[in-house]
Amino acid sequence: MADTKYIFVTGGVISSLGKGIIAASLGKLLQERGYKVTIQKLDPYINIDPGTLNPYEHGECYVTVDGHEADLDLGHYERFLNTPTHKDNNITTGRIYQNVINKERKGDYLGKTVQIVPHITDEIKRNIKLLGTKYDYDFVITEIGGTVGDIESLPFIESVRQLRWELGRNCLCVHLTYVPYIAAAKEVKTKPTQHSVKQLQSEGVQPDMLVLRTEHRLNKDILRKVALFCNVEADAVMQSVDVPTIYEVPLLMQEQKMDEIILRKLNMPIKEKPAMKDWRNFLDKKKNAKETLRIGLVGKYVELPDAYKSINESLLQAATYNERKLDLQFIHSDKITAENVANTLSSMDGIVIAPGFGQRGIEGKFLSLKYARENDVPTFGICLGMQCMVIEYARNVLKLEEANSTEMNPHTPFKVIDLMEGQKTVTNMGGSMRLGAYNCTLLKGSKVYEAYGKEKIQERHRHRFEFNEDYRDEFEKSGMRCTGINPETGLVEVVEIPEKKWFLGVQFHPEYNSTVISPNPLFLSFVKAVVENKK
């Protein structure tokens, strides 16, 4: 096999243009041509990882199989490529500096002055090339977070400049920009793109391909003009016009031969044009679905849908495979009261209680769960959502008044959810939760077993608190069953009320493990129950 090829994806003009989706789409197209591909995200912030960040900052924190708290773009990479990412797929400025400073303390620099160039850039380059050498990929696509021209991203762009020089024809740069439409003049404007490419050039990087984000289709003349001004071949200027779903972007890029042009530029066999059969099948199902399911997601970060990105996508995938459209309603748990809960939830065909941390909005989750349980609405509790299911049941069915999680009230008389033993000595907040994939054994005959169709599964986790084993008998006797158990530690991972249509909570996060081609079985089962319920 030839050497690993490195493709960099940078962004200009403004942020939030969807670099992650473009990187994932390109990855998908190359993968479909038979290549081994991985995608990496470099984040210019100083946090070691996004685990300590409030979701309002950068949206959801994604979790990899190997227990890394990662940027949500890794979720897109997995959903598109259907292959797991790892710790090495997400690097921040903080981690780069931490590694360099640790080496300095050990004396590894032998008395040298430690500097951004070459020491920080060497460490960045090492982390990029690591993916190629350690895992034997044909293509490593590296997305550089932020926008060209940011002070923070300078060392990353400088590393790209150096790598282009070192790797020669094994390296290529795709730059994503924005072409605004000025309504008053009825014109699209390419000047911001020209400026952004100039900025990139002034940092020593010439893009090989441009992707122009636009709300209006751009004609050939505009594309040619951009090519001319930016030193890019005319056929290497792509446009990414707004589409109804991000999952159409790979097809949009395929139409413009993005993958072929890249393979040609990198001197790689072009191979056969992929039919993308499974992918198109998913899109057809999505387009052809007639009936709509209305699902309420109860959480406290609902003003920012990115805070629940993987849940939104998992629900969409499951709805699509159940041949339904999804009308996802974001419901603010903070705003739910005993008076308005019935009104707020009565039009929902199904309810999801979101993960989360801390006291805010928690009472609204209990009220929602009481309503859902008493009215037998299909309900799915995820992580904190599962813990809330347990607490609500303890309070209102077992009559353990003031039952709670010790996270919310350390002095509760009934600690039905309590800090895990291994967490009691933890002092550092970063990377110290129970993280990543763990085994779970499912009870035959349960809903969760039926959903997965097997006894042994693995799902990813991110939590510090757990179901308190001392109360297990009491719950089981009164009708809430523990149907998924970690075989190594005995930890309760799944609870359900068998007599309800579908009332199930999981301590793990199945949403991190649901892709376009293989949707998560539990989401499929939940949505199926929602469909039945609607009938």
355 binds ligand GLN (CB under 6 A): yes
Question: What mask, x for binding ligand GLN by CB under 6 A, covers residues 84 to 113?
Answer: ------------------------------
List CB contacts of 452: < 8 A, sequence separation 6 or more: 442, 521, 522
Report, in angstroms and rounded to the nearest whole number, the Rg of the chain calculated over CA atoms. 25
Comparison of 21 and 362: residue with beta carbon closer to ligand GLN? 362
Comparison of 286 and 464: residue with beta carbon closer to ligand GLN? 464
Judged by CB under 6 A, the stretch of 42-50, 66-74, 221-229, 461-469 that binds ligand GLN is: 461-469
505 binds ligand GLN (CB under 6 A): no
- What are the tokens at 273? 């044009």
Comparison of 356 and 510: residue with beta carbon closer to ligand GLN? 356
Judged by CB under 6 A, the stretch of 203-211, 281-289, 462-470, 484-492 that binds ligand GLN is: 462-470
Comparison of 19 and 464: residue with beta carbon closer to ligand GLN? 464
Judged by CB under 6 A, the stretch of 126-134, 192-200, 317-325, 350-358 that binds ligand GLN is: 350-358
Comparison of 146 and 364: residue with beta carbon closer to ligand GLN? 364
Q: Is 509 a catalytic residue?
A: yes
Q: Is 440 a catalytic residue?
A: no
Of the candidate residues 286, 395, 447, 464, the single one contacting ligand GLN (CB under 6 A): 464
CB of 291 to ligand GLN, least distance (A): 31
Residue 400 dihedral angles phi and psi, to the nearest 5°: -90, 80
Interface positions, 383-412, toward ligand GLN (CB under 6 A): 383-384, 407
Marked catalytic residue, from 60, 407, 496, 511: 511
356 binds ligand GLN (CB under 6 A): yes
Comparison of 295 and 382: residue with beta carbon closer to ligand GLN? 382
CB of 308 to ligand GLN, least distance (A): 11
Nearest to 437 by CA among 464, 467, 457: 457
CB of 333 to ligand GLN, least distance (A): 13
Nearest to 505 by CA among 367, 351, 371: 351
Judged by CB under 6 A, the stretch of 135-143, 294-302, 355-363, 475-483 that binds ligand GLN is: 355-363
Of the candidate residues 35, 465, 503, 512, the single one contacting ligand GLN (CB under 6 A): 465
d(CA 10, CA 482): 47
What 3 state SS string does 453-487 have?
A: CCCEEEEEEEECEEECHHHHHHHHHHCCEEEEECC
List CB contacts of 25: < 8 A, sequence separation 6 or more: 80, 249, 250, 252, 253, 258
45 binds ligand GLN (CB under 6 A): no
Comparison of 384 and 391: residue with beta carbon closer to ligand GLN? 384
The three-state secondary structure class of 40 is strand
462 binds ligand GLN (CB under 6 A): yes
CB of 335 to ligand GLN, least distance (A): 20
Contact 253, 285 (CB under 8 A): no
Comparison of 164 and 464: residue with beta carbon closer to ligand GLN? 464
Contact 25, 250 (CB under 8 A): yes
CA 40 from chain center: how many Å? 13
Q: Is 511 a catalytic residue?
A: yes
For residue 525, CA distances in Å to 98, 319, 380, 451, 501 come to 43, 10, 10, 6, 11
CB of 358 to ligand GLN, least distance (A): 7
CB of 462 to ligand GLN, least distance (A): 5
Judged by CB under 6 A, the stretch of 158-166, 169-177, 354-362, 390-398 that binds ligand GLN is: 354-362
Q: Provide long-range contacts, Cβ within 8 A and 24+ apart, for 391-395.
A: 391/366, 391/416, 391/417, 392/365, 392/366, 393/475, 393/480, 393/497, 394/471, 394/475, 395/366
415 binds ligand GLN (CB under 6 A): no
- What are the tokens at 467? 């179901």
Comparison of 283 and 389: residue with beta carbon closer to ligand GLN? 389
CB of 509 to ligand GLN, least distance (A): 7
Nearest to 38 by CA among 96, 78, 95, 93: 78
Q: Determine whether 329 is exposed, middle or buried from the number of CB atoms within 10 Å of its CB (0-12, 13-18, 19+).
A: middle
Sheet holding 237-241, edge to edge: 90-92, 37-43, 139-144, 5-11, 171-179, 209-214, 237-241
Tell me, by CB under 6 A, how many residues bind ligand GLN: 10
Marked catalytic residue, from 383, 388, 440, 482: 383
CB of 68 to ligand GLN, least distance (A): 15
Q: Provide long-range contacts, Cβ within 8 A and 24+ apart, for 276-281.
A: 276/32, 276/250, 276/251, 278/516, 278/517, 279/28, 279/32, 279/247, 279/250, 279/251, 279/516, 279/517, 280/251
226 binds ligand GLN (CB under 6 A): no
Q: Determine whether 251 is exposed, middle or buried from the number of CB atoms within 10 Å of its CB (0-12, 13-18, 19+).
A: middle
Judged by CB under 6 A, the stretch of 304-312, 349-357, 440-448, 526-534 that binds ligand GLN is: 349-357
Comparison of 65 and 268: residue with beta carbon closer to ligand GLN? 65
Binding residues (CB under 6 A) for ligand GLN: these are 355-357, 383-384, 407, 462-465
Catalytic residues: 383, 509, 511
